[in-house]
Structure 1
Amino acid sequence: MRVGKKIGVLIILLLIMVTLVIGLYQIQKPLLPENQALSKAIMYLDAVNRNMDLTYNTNNGAESSWLNEDTFWNQLTRDRTWTINIDGVAVDLDAYTGEFIDMVFPMDGVITRGEHPDWFEIDIDNS
């Protein structure tokens, strides 16, 4: 009986260690580099230009870009976003995957992924 209890305790400890390692990896998962975030933001703005017949210039690249606050809580909950300004349009992306969140235009117009999900289905791994 004692050997069975020891094996059970060892299995539980092993599962706890594996869970901790996976959890720590998820917290420390690398962020999308700025140049990749910029290229995705340009693709998303081009998609809006095509679908709404707009003429925002994406050829000059970003006017500015930044990550939201780098707090412990944001890292823990993986709530990090890139905000990239292109021709006066602020494009928000998930900082880990590059997935589109929303776009804010100069006159406070907002486009979200929920409104037009088919516009923002870009193959993230191959872009």
Structure 2
Amino acid sequence: MPFRQIPYATENSKFMSATSVEVKINMQTNQPATDRTTGEVLKTVSLLEMLNGSADVLKVTVPASQVPEDLELGTNVRPVGLVAIPWVQSRGNGQLSEGIAYRAAAIERCAPASAPTPAPASSAAKPSTPIQKTETTK
């Protein structure tokens, strides 16, 4: 049975790379993990998601060709096609582990958020006509 993939809404969030990009390792083979469909090597990067005054870190898996090679820590990014994949795993002793994996089709750089432009000074603070220097004679 395939894992259920739940689309992850990103429209109102801001994302920033929180770690460097690393090759994902298959824990059973200790080799680089690959996409089951395409065979492409997978990479992981932790993203800091900022939304409504709070922040969370998501460890996201992405095809290697879809991550900028020189992605630096703190870069503003946008995960494309981000999905959450709930999982449950038996530990063999009757206990279960559970969690959520995150997968994106790509990671794209974004422009940093610009600082707000200061409002122009009010006209009351400035004279309406320039002050001219005049000479006085005695």
Per the normalisation by structure 2, the TM-score is: 0.27
Higher share in helix: 1
Larger Rg over CA atoms: 2
Question: When you count strand as a share of all residues, which structure comes out higher?
Answer: 2
TM-score where L is the length of structure 1: 0.28
